[in-house]
Amino acid sequence: MAAFNDRFLRACRREPVDATPVWFMRQAGRYLPEYRALRERYAFLELCRQPQLAVEITRMPLRRFEVDAAILFSDLSLPLLGMGVSLALEEGAGPVVESPVRRTADVRRLRPLEPETDLPFVLEAIRILRAELRVPLIGFVGGPFTMACYLVEGRASRDFARVRALMFSEPGTWHALMEVLTESLSRYARAQVAAGVHALQIFESWIGVLNPLDYRTFVRPYLRRLTETLQPLGIPVILFGVGTAALLEELAEAGGTVIGVDWRVPLDTAWSRLGDSVAIQGNLDPAVLLAPFEVVVEHAARVLRQAGGRPGHIFNTGHGLLPETPPDAVARLVDWVHAWSLAHPE
C-alpha cells in the first residue's frame, strides 16, 4: 500500500516539501468523460446525494493524475437545500433560487442547517473517502457572502448588483441573513471536519464584487466567525475568491491558512502583499489548458517562477477547470509541475 502523500498538508503549513503539491478546482467534473458518462445516468443532485457516487467521482481524477489532494465531489448549494430553500441546480451555472430573499420575513423562513440530519450523505461520503484515500481530502463550504449572493440575486450574476443594493438599503435584513448563513455554514464545516476531511476550502467566490470598506462592514465579521470556528480544529483552511485584487490583505486577515488567488494577480505581487504568514494557492489561468501544451508549460513556469520556490505554494488553477479542458493536458501538467519543482529546489 502506498504511503500517505502529505505534500499538500505540509505546504498548507508552509513546511518544506520535496515537490510543489498540485490539485485543481473542479478536478472531479465535466471535463472527464467518465464523469459525463455517469452524469447521463443520474441527475446532478443524485450524484451529490448518493455517497457511493460522490465517492466514485471524487476518486476519478486520482485514477488519472498524480494530484496531491482530492476534493470532495459535492455542490456549494446543498446547505441551502438543507435550510429549506427551493432551488434548481444548473450544473456549472450555480443554483437558481425559486424565491429570492428580499425581506426579513424571507430570512426568518430559513431554517439553520442540521448537517447530520439534513446532509448525512455528504458526511457518509467523507467517512468512506477518509478510510480509502492515500492523499488528503479537502472538504468545502461556500462563504457566507457567496451563499447570500445566490439567495438574494436568485442566480449567478456578473456583479451581484441586487445583493449590494440590499446590503445598502436593508442592512437589518442583510445582517439577519448573514447570521443564519454563518451559523449554518459553520456547523456544516465542523461536521465535515468531524467526518474526516483533512482541510477545508471556503469558496467565498464572489467576494471580489465588494470594495474593502463595504467588505469590512457587511462581510468581515461573518467570515471571521466562520474561520474562528474552524481554528480550534487544527486543519488548514483555504480561503478562495475570484477577482480579489482589491481585497487580498483583507482575505489574509480573515483567518485563512491558505489564500487562493485567481489568475489575475501575479503570485509575486500576491506574496509581497500578503507576507509570509499565509500559504498561497494558485493560479494558472484555466483557459490556458485549452492551448497547445508548450503554451501550458510557458504559463505554468511563469506561475512557479512567481511563487519563487517559497514554502507554502500549492499549485492550482486560478478558477475551476473549464468543461472543455483536455484531461491529457491536466495529466501532463501535474507531472510537469512536480518535475519542475524537483529540479528547482529552493
Q: Is 242 in the site for a second copy (CB under 8 A)?
A: yes
Instruction: List 260's β-bridge partners, or say none.
Output: 240, 281
Closest CB to a second copy among 79 and 208? 208
Identify whether the C-beta of residue 245 lies closer than 8 Å to the C-beta of residue 207: no
- Write down the catalytic residue from 10, 14, 39, 49: 39
Closest CB to a second copy among 193 and 210? 210
Of 251, 282, 277, the C-alpha closest to 265 is 282
Distances (CA, A) of 216 to 49, 163, 170, 249: 36, 16, 17, 12
Q: Is 197 in the site for a second copy (CB under 8 A)?
A: no
Distances (CA, A) of 225 to 166, 178, 257, 273: 22, 11, 15, 23
Q: Is 88 in the site for a second copy (CB under 8 A)?
A: no
Q: Is 86 in the site for a second copy (CB under 8 A)?
A: no
Q: Is 263 in the site for a second copy (CB under 8 A)?
A: yes
Closest CB to a second copy among 164 and 198? 164
Distances (CA, A) of 16 to 6, 124, 256, 284, 312: 11, 33, 19, 22, 8
30 is catalytic: yes
Q: Kindly write out the interface string for residues 6-45 of this chain, putting x where it contacts a second copy by CB under 8 A and - elsewhere.
A: ----------------------------------------
Site for a second copy in 306-325 (CB under 8 A): 319, 322, 324
- For 257, the grid coordinates are 491558512
264 is catalytic: no
150 is catalytic: yes
Strands (E), the chain: 70-71, 87-90, 94-97, 137-142, 199-203, 237-240, 258-260, 279-284, 313-317
Q: Is 266 in the site for a second copy (CB under 8 A)?
A: yes
Q: Is 256 in the site for a second copy (CB under 8 A)?
A: no
- End-to-end Cα spacing for the chain: 30
Of 213, 224, 279, 280, the C-alpha closest to 247 is 213
Q: Is 213 in the site for a second copy (CB under 8 A)?
A: yes
**Sequence-ordered list of residues with C-beta below 8 angstroms from that of 61, at least 6 positions apart, any chain:** 24, 27, 28, 32, 67, 70, 330
Q: With contacts defined by CB under 8 A, name the span among 32-40, 120-128, 167-175, 226-234 that binds a second copy.
A: 167-175
36 is catalytic: no
- For 195, the grid coordinates are 467526518
Q: Is 297 in the site for a second copy (CB under 8 A)?
A: no
215 is catalytic: no
- Write down the catalytic residue from 35, 150, 215, 222: 150
Q: Is 274 in the site for a second copy (CB under 8 A)?
A: no
Q: Is 302 in the site for a second copy (CB under 8 A)?
A: yes
- Write down the catalytic residue from 10, 14, 31, 75: 75
Total residues interacting with a second copy, rule: CB under 8 A: 39
Q: Is 246 in the site for a second copy (CB under 8 A)?
A: yes
| Local structure of residue 320 (DSSP, 8 states) | P
Q: Is 245 in the site for a second copy (CB under 8 A)?
A: yes
| Local structure of residue 113 (DSSP, 8 states) | P
Measured between alpha carbons, how far is 131 from 252 in angstroms, rounded to an integer?
A: 32
State the nearest-atom distance from the C-beta of 290 to a second copy, in Å: 4
- Write down the catalytic residue from 26, 49, 164, 187: 26
Distances (CA, A) of 243 to 135, 206, 260, 343: 29, 8, 11, 32
The residues annotated with a catalytic role in the active site are 26, 30, 39, 75, 150
For binding to a second copy (CB under 8 A), which residues are involved? 156, 158-159, 161-162, 164-165, 167-169, 208-214, 242-243, 245-246, 263-266, 269, 285-288, 290-292, 295, 299, 302, 319, 322, 324
